[in-house]
Amino acid sequence: MHILLVGNGGREHALLRRLRSDLPDGTFSVTRPNAGMTDVDAVDVAPTDVDALVAWALHARPDLVMIGPEAPLADGLADRLRAEDLAVFGPSRAAARIESSKAFAKALMEEAGVPTAAYRAFRRAEDAKAYIRAEGAPIVVKASGLAAGKGAIVCSSVEDALGAVDTIMADGAFGDAGDEIVVEAFMEGEELSIFGVADGRDVVLLRAAQDHKRVGEGDTGPNTGGMGAYAPVSIATPDVIEEARERVFLPTLRALAERDSAFRGLLYAGLMRTDEGLKVVEFNARFGDPETQVVLPLLESSLVELLTAAATGSVAGIEPTWRNAAAVTTVVASGGYPGSYAKGKTIDLSDVPEGEDVHVYHAGTARNADGELITAGGRVLAVTAIAPTFAQAADRSRDAAATVRFEDAQFRRDIGWRERERTP
């Protein structure tokens, strides 16, 4: 079986490793693979170059195209490939609006009766500011478009919220993604990330995870693309998972199908567990990063079977099986991230205890002219540990991350701190 994997970050490295375990004799092509993606057919095309990817796929005719990042989905890559009778795991451009436009997602949820925070969408800064002054704080200001997971600003005061509007709309902190903003009520509770493999109408839910968006320990500092994650999450009981399926995933899939935008691919729900039940914080149209790095290592059954069923038929009747274990990943990032940071720092992994239950997933890595491993992004590596208990996995992940060496490396030592407080 030949699989084209579009993308080259930590999520895609985790997908590649898991797919390869299902298909040890398979052929894998990857768009501009990072330094950790070895023994693959390197496709010298950017993951966002839709025309070139379609041309390559028409020549190579892979058995399955797995689209990792959100940008090519928003640009219609899945539509173009399906039009050429290729099997694709990833939603259409219309269905991917559930991530590429937060305003669209909120309106869809409102229409479908999916629980979420009260909101208003704005294209004029002054209208948004008037709404904020009327509503008060705390309040959340979000860029409506794609902002690499960093477009949400939680504001504790009205002044902070007014400043956030200027940061997004006037200063253009997130580019075109901030041409429209969503202002929504602040929700109290604990967040969960749940992946749903969808075939257009039905869905198979994977293990719940919890990620850590803030750059600093104790969940302080600005939002990032994610500084670590763990799975499973003890508060994600079977009843909670069933609530997510019945109140969030299925109504959303129905609403999209009724708009002629049936969703085939990975529907990610970022949820808040509130006193009133689950509420949606956001939807993504692809696997999350770094949650993928803790969910997939726990999967025992075939990922290829599940993805292929969603891409070409029905997921009905598929029940994944899981390891009786916990996984924790710690992201090692460049100094300065999520702000400006330097690239090209030499990475030393010689002391990392990588093995059967410690995995190093490459994200922002490359090789220089001398073949040395160097940093090439903000989030550089994700160090995942699997162990019988959460505490053991968390300790192993943290300790292994501490053995990664490059100048100005930063990582959080408290990934899963809420879980540690409630489990022995």
**Residues 287 and 66 sit within 8 Å (Cβ to Cβ):** no
Mean pLDDT over 137-153 rounds to 90
Percent of the chain residues topping a pLDDT of 90: 96
Q: How many CB atoms lie within 10 A of CB 51?
A: 11
**Residues 354 and 397 sit within 8 Å (Cβ to Cβ):** no
Q: Closest by alpha carbon to 311, among 67, 8, 50, 15? A: 67
Given a cut of 80, whether residue 149 has pLDDT beyond it is no
**3-state percent helix, strand, coil for the chain, nearest multiple of 5:** 35, 30, 40
- H/E stretch holding 131: helix 125-135
DSSP-derived 3-state class of residue 315 = coil
How far apart are the C-alpha atoms of 282 and 271, rounded to whole Å?
7
Burial of residue 76 (CB within 10 Å: 0-12, 13-18, 19+) is: middle
pLDDT category, 130, cuts 50, 70, 90?
very high
Q: Closest by alpha carbon to 70, among 266, 285, 225? A: 285
The 10s digit of each residue's pLDDT in 202-214 is 999 999 999 999 9
Q: Quote the mean pLDDT of the chain.
A: 96
pLDDT category, 223, cuts 50, 70, 90?
confident
The 10s digit of each residue's pLDDT in 170-211 is 999 999 999 999 999 999 999 999 999 999 999 999 999 999
Percent of the chain residues topping a pLDDT of 70: 100
To the nearest 10 degrees (0 to 180), the angle between helices 93-100 and 250-258 is 130
The 10s digit of each residue's pLDDT in 33-90 is 999 999 999 999 999 999 999 999 999 999 999 999 999 999 999 999 999 999 999 9
- Cα 64–Cα 70–Cα 73 angle in degrees, nearest 5: 55
pLDDT category, 319, cuts 50, 70, 90?
very high
pLDDT category, 161, cuts 50, 70, 90?
very high
Enter the pTM of the model: 0.95
Which strands sit side by side in the sheet containing 379-387, from one edge to the other?
210-211, 228-231, 326-333, 379-387, 358-362
Q: How many residues does the chain have?
A: 424
Instruction: Give the torsion through C-alpha atoms of 209, 104, 99, 160, to 10 deg.
Output: -70
The whole-number pLDDT of residue 290 equals 97
The whole-number pLDDT of residue 38 equals 93
How far apart are the C-alpha atoms of 159 and 299, rounded to whole Å?
46
Mean pLDDT over 224-232 rounds to 96
How far apart are the C-alpha atoms of 275 and 279, rounded to whole Å?
10
* Beta partners for residue 197, in sequence order: 204, 266
Q: Closest by alpha carbon to 66, among 127, 108, 8? A: 8
* Beta partners for residue 210, in sequence order: 230
Domains of the chain listed by start with CATH number: 2-92 (3.40.50.20), 124-179 (3.30.1490.20), 190-312 (3.30.470.20), 326-422 (3.90.600.10)
The whole-number pLDDT of residue 92 equals 98
The whole-number pLDDT of residue 48 equals 96
Given a cut of 90, whether residue 324 has pLDDT beyond it is yes
How far apart are the C-alpha atoms of 199 and 262, rounded to whole Å?
8
The whole-number pLDDT of residue 294 equals 98
The 10s digit of each residue's pLDDT in 2-31 is 999 999 999 999 999 999 999 999 999 999
**Residues 296 and 351 sit within 8 Å (Cβ to Cβ):** no
Q: Longest C-alpha distance within the chain, in Å?
A: 61
**Terminal CA-CA length for the chain:** 44
The whole-number pLDDT of residue 148 equals 78
The 10s digit of each residue's pLDDT in 250-269 is 999 999 999 999 999 999 99
Question: How distant, in Å, are the alpha carbons of 150, 265, 369 from that of 216?
Answer: 14, 32, 34
How far apart are the C-alpha atoms of 415 and 177, rounded to whole Å?
29
The whole-number pLDDT of residue 424 equals 65
**Residues 128 and 180 sit within 8 Å (Cβ to Cβ):** no
Given a cut of 80, whether residue 384 has pLDDT beyond it is yes
Q: Can you list the positions of beta strands (E) in 340-398? A: 358-362, 365-367, 373-375, 379-387
How far apart are the C-alpha atoms of 44 and 48, rounded to whole Å?
12
The whole-number pLDDT of residue 154 equals 92
pLDDT category, 334, cuts 50, 70, 90?
very high
DSSP 2-14: EEEEE--SHHHHH
